[in-house]
Structure 1
Amino acid sequence: MTVPALLVLGNVNVDLVLGEVDGWPAVGTEVMVDRSEMRPGGSAGNTALALSGMKVPHRMIASVGDDPNGAWLSGRFDQASTEWIVEPCETTLTVGIVHKGGDRVFFTTPGHLLRASLENLIERLPEASGENAFALISGGFLMPGIEAGTIELLSALAARGWRTAIDPGWPPAGWTEGNKQRMFEWISAADISLINAEEAKGLSGQDDLEAAVGQLVERVGPSHTLVVKDGSQGAHAYAAGAHVHAASPAVDVIDTVGAGDTFNAAFLAALAKGRTTLAEALAHGTDIAARAISTFPRRYCGS
């Protein structure tokens, strides 16, 4: 069987999305919301769903729990594109509260993500199918076993011919000095890093995004591709001393949960085609993400 040019590794969990709320309610009160949706999620899960929605061949290797939520969750993905590692525990659940304007906050239970095993993942890694094959590691900060072994995982992927990308997300403990050092080590070992504007500011310790990006670009060096996703302002990419920006189409936002993961899917899918410029890949990412966050149920376009 031919291995697709896109490999997705990382966190998949059940998402329960509720909204919208206007401000944060007082403790002990009850709030009625207009909409709820139980859907498959997690950073890696959202990326795989977007790839399926775009009809882009891919493979995802991820874990679930052995409870009813795990059975429901795994059944929501394209089985031909997914390899599951079933853990003997409850499946992780994330509750996302959407605020007016599209911002959101997440509450996540530990569940199966705490048991995700580096060894189980590495032994399932396929050989890359060609020079434009990309492997993405998503949500590493939520999986202690993967977090501790990310350098080893990146090395194993490179040894199998994959070009590597990381989007570890926001560390639950915040941007401690240890987490900053760990992130920079991952960046040094990867080809591409995909972070959002708030993560860029947290990682750099700068409140101003322009200053944050300037510091990060100097730190990561010209051989690494740094992508910064900035919501309605679009996305930026920095590589080989060049800066590329793609504006985001103006849309009526329904909810932004998984927007960055959808961008990752479309951006890497464009690069995997080959003969695609960084600017074209960046624009493809912003276009697909904008469509996803402005449709319900979500729709994707492109290929």
Structure 2
Amino acid sequence: MTTPAILLFGNANVDLVLGEIDGWPAVGTETMVERSETRPGGSAGNMALALSGIGVPHLFIGSTGDDANGAWLRSQFDPRFCKWIIDGGDTTVTVGIVHRGGDRVFFTTPGHLQAARIADLLKALPPAPHDRAVATIAGGFLMPDIAAGTARLLWELSALGWRTAIDPGWPPSSWDDKTRTIMAQWLGLADYALLNAEEIKGFTGIEPHEHAAAAVAGMLKQSQALVLKMGPEGARAYRGGETFAVQAPEVRVIDTVGAGDTFNAAFLAALVEGADLHAALSSGVETAARAISTFPRRYDAG
């Protein structure tokens, strides 16, 4: 079987999404919400689901626990595009609380993500099928051993002909000196850094996000690109001294959980097909807008 041109590594977990609420209720009270949805999630998991939703072949190498949640989670993905590593123990669960207007907060159990091993990924690396192929590492900060080995993984992927992308997510320990050092190392190795506005402000300690992005773009080589995801403001990309921007369409937001991951999937799929940065940004923004405004969630324009 020919290796697909999009390779994914990272976190998949069970998501329980609840909402909407206005602010936080007082401790000890009970709050009724309009809807709930149990669905597969995680940064890499959401990317894989979006790629399947828009009909793009890919290879997702991920893990679950060996419990009932793990079996259910694996069943939600297209088996043609997945290679699963099953670890002993509970599968990670994330509860996402959606606030009115689309903002959200997450609570995540450690589960199988704490057991994920970089060695399992390193021995599963295929060569890139062509020079536009992209390998992405997503949600790495939630997996300690993966985070510790991500620099080596990026190097090995590049040696096998892959362009590389990172979307590390928000570090559970927040942006301390250690996580900033790790992130700077990853930025030096990845071809594409996929960050949202809060992450880039947290990493740099700079406000507003436009100034933070300019600072990070200045750290990159001419061939590297920073992609800044700004929610309702759209997305920007910075590469080689140039800036590309795409506005988001106005939509009725249902929930924004996984919006950035959906953007990543469509953005990278467009690049693999030969699109330039501006066209790839447009594809990512349009697909993410469709996903957050449909229930059940829809990715394609059909």
Q: TM-score range by the shorter chain?
A: over 0.9
Alpha-carbon distance in structure 2 between the residues aligned to 1:217 and 1:187: 10
C-alpha displacement at 1:229, in angstroms?
Answer: 0.2
Structure 1 range deviating more: 77-86 or 211-220: 211-220
Q: Specify every segment of 5 or more residues in structure 1 that has no aligned partner in the other structure, as ranges.
A: none
SS at match of 1:219: coil
Alpha-carbon distance in structure 2 between the residues aligned to 1:159 and 1:105: 38
Q: Which residue of 2 is the match for residue 299 of structure 1?
A: 298
Q: Which residue of 1 is the match for residue 246 of structure 2?
A: 246
Alpha-carbon distance in structure 1 between the residues aligned to 2:201 and 2:182: 16
Alpha-carbon distance in structure 2 between the residues aligned to 1:118 and 1:194: 21
SS at match of 2:106: strand
Q: Which residue of 2 is the match for residue 216 of structure 1?
A: 216
Give me the CA root mean square deviation. Answer: 1.0
Q: Which residue of 2 is the match for residue 175 of structure 1?
A: 175
Alpha-carbon distance in structure 2 between the residues aligned to 1:64 and 1:250: 36
Task: Letter of the 1:63 partner, please give it.
Answer: S
C-alpha displacement at 1:22, in angstroms?
Answer: 0.7
Alpha-carbon distance in structure 1 between the residues aligned to 2:298 and 2:208: 34
Q: Which residue of 1 is the match for residue 135 of structure 2?
A: 135
Q: Matched residues, percent identical? A: 59
Q: Which residue of 1 is the match for residue 201 of structure 2?
A: 201
C-alpha displacement at 1:216, in angstroms?
Answer: 1.2
Q: Which residue of 2 is the match for residue 49 of structure 1?
A: 49
1:245-287 deviation digits (Å, cap 9, x = unpaired): 011111000000000000000000000012x111000000000
TM-score (norm 2): 0.99
SS at match of 2:39: strand
Write the mapping of 1:53-68 to structure 2, written as runs, cut at 5 A: 53-68=53-68
SS at match of 2:188: helix
Q: Which residue of 2 is the match for residue 11 of structure 1?
A: 11
Write the mapping of 1:1-303 to structure 2, written as runs, cut at 5 A: 1-274=1-274, 276-301=275-300
C-alpha displacement at 1:220, in angstroms?
Answer: 2.3
Alpha-carbon distance in structure 2 between the residues aligned to 1:55 and 1:214: 34
TM-score (norm 1): 0.98
Task: Letter of the 2:160 partner, please give it.
Answer: R
Alpha-carbon distance in structure 2 between the residues aligned to 1:210 and 1:270: 25
Q: Specify every segment of 5 or more residues in structure 2 that has no aligned partner in the other structure, as ranges.
A: none
C-alpha displacement at 1:177, in angstroms?
Answer: 1.4
CA contact 2:122–2:153 (8 Å) conserved in 1:
yes
How many pairs are equivalent? Answer: 302
Alpha-carbon distance in structure 2 between the residues aligned to 1:288 and 1:178: 34
Alpha-carbon distance in structure 1 between the residues aligned to 2:47 and 2:228: 17
Task: Letter of the 2:142 partner, please give it.
Answer: L
1:217-267 deviation digits (Å, cap 9, x = unpaired): 112243310000000000000001100001111100000000000000000
Task: Letter of the 2:116 partner, please give it.
Answer: A
SS at match of 2:297: coil
SS at match of 1:228: strand
Alpha-carbon distance in structure 2 between the residues aligned to 1:214 and 1:132: 26
Task: Letter of the 2:29 partner, please give it.
Answer: T
CA contact 2:217–2:225 (8 Å) conserved in 1:
no
1:90-117 deviation digits (Å, cap 9, x = unpaired): 0000000000000000000000000001
Alpha-carbon distance in structure 2 between the residues aligned to 1:34 and 1:302: 27
Alpha-carbon distance in structure 2 between the residues aligned to 1:181 and 1:218: 16
C-alpha displacement at 1:72, in angstroms?
Answer: 0.2
C-alpha displacement at 1:57, in angstroms?
Answer: 0.6
SS at match of 1:29: coil
